Amino acid sequence: MIVFDDKKNYVAEIDDAGTEIARHALTTPEAFELLNRAWRRVSWDVKYIYAFSWMGRPFIQLPEDVLRIQEVLWEHKPDVLIETGVAHGGSLVFYASLFKAMEKGRVIGVELELRPHNRKAISEHILSPYITVVDGSSIDPDTVAEVKALIKPGEKVMVMLDSNHTKEHVLEELRAYGPMVTPGCYIVASDGIMEEVAGAPRTKPEWKHSNPQQAAITFTKENNNFVIEEPAWPFNEGVVRERLTYWPSAFVKRIS
Ligand SMILES: C[S@@+](CC[C@H](N)C(=O)[O-])C[C@H]1O[C@@H](n2cnc3c(N)ncnc32)[C@H](O)[C@@H]1O
C-alpha cells in the first residue's frame, strides 16, 4: 500500500502486515517513483492514454513516452523509422511531423488490420508524403521482406514495436526487424507495462510473463549485439532519475 501525506510531506510504503517499509520526503526521487507506481496503475485503470491525438489523429501513448522518443529521434535523426502497429495513425503522424521539422526521415507503418476510415485519414493527411503503410502481419516473412525492400542501402534505421504485445510475437518482431536497425540505434519494444498491471481491469494473467519487456530480455540474451539501454536524457535540472513510462526495459540498442 502507498500512503501519500502532503501535510507531513512524505510518501510511504506499507506492507500487507501493516508495517511501514519505506518513507520518503516529497523532495526525493524515491517519493516520485513510489507515487508513479500508484499513478501508473490508476492511469491504466482509467484508460488515461486513450485521450490524446496528434495533428488530428488519435495517438495511444503515454505523453511522457512520446516526449522521450522524440528526444531519441532528434539525437539519432534516422532516415527511416519502422513502426509495427498503426491503429488510428496518430503515432505515424507524430513521427512524420518530427521528420518534416528535422528535414530528414520518413516512417513506414506496418498494420494487420488498417480500418478504411483510418487508411483514408492517413492517406489524406498533410504529412502523408512522409508515411508509407505496409499491410500484413508484422512477423509474416512477406511483410518483413516488403519493409526491407523499402529501405535503401546505407540508410539509418530505427524501429518501434507496437503491434501484438505477446512475448512470442514481440520476440519474433525483434528477430525480424533487429537486423535492420543501424548500429548505435534502437529497436523499441513498447508497452512492457503489461507485466506490472497484470491483475488490473482489461488485463490477462499471462501478461505477467508474456509481454514486450520479457521479449526484450530474451532477445538480448540470445543476441550479443543488442543490449537494453536507457537513452540518456539530454536535459535534466531536476532530481528525477527514472522515466515515468509504459515502456519499461523497452529500449533495445544495437551495439554492433
Ligand atoms: C496499440 S495499437 C497501435 C497504436 C499506435 N502505434 C499509436 O501509438 O497510436 C496496436 C495495433 O497493432 C495492430 N496489430 C495487431 N497485431 C498485429 C500484427 N501481427 N501485425 C501488425 N499489426 C498488428 C492492431 O491492429 C492495432 O491497430
The pLDDT of residue 85 is: 98
Mean pLDDT across the stretch 95-111? Answer: 98
pTM strictly above 0.85: yes
The rounded mean pLDDT for the chain is 98
Query: Which among 163, 171, 193 is the best mutation to test ligand 1's pocket, defined by most ligand atoms within 8 Å of the CB?
Result: 163
Mean pLDDT across the stretch 216-232? Answer: 98
Band of pLDDT at residue 159, cut at 50, 70 and 90: very high
- Nearest-CA residue for atom 20 of ligand 1: 137
User: How far apart are the CA of 33 and the centre of ligand 1, in A?
Assistant: 29
Helix (H, G, I), strand (E, B), or coil: what is residue 18? coil
The pLDDT of residue 207 is: 98
Band of pLDDT at residue 218, cut at 50, 70 and 90: very high
Quote the CA–CA distance of 127 and 82 in Å, as a whole number: 16
Phi, psi of 10 (to 5 degrees): -145, 165
Do 185 and 76 touch, CB atoms closer than 8 A? yes
C-alpha cell at 186: 534502437
Going along the chain from its start, the domains and CATH numbers come out as 2-45 (no CATH), 53-254 (3.40.50.150)
**Which protein residues touch ligand 1 with a CB less than 6 Å away?**
59-61, 84-88, 90-91, 110-113, 137-138, 162-164
Residue 213's nearest CA partner among 198, 199, 232, 234 is 198
Amino acid symbol at 201: P
SS3 helix, strand, coil % of the chain, rounded to 5? 40, 20, 40
Helix (H) or strand (E) holding 221: helix 212-222
Within a 10 A sphere around the Cβ of 241, how many other Cβ atoms? Answer: 12
Percentage of the chain surpassing pLDDT 70? 100
Mean pLDDT across the stretch 153-160? Answer: 98
Q: Express each pLDDT in 169-186 by its tens digit.
A: 999 999 999 999 999 999
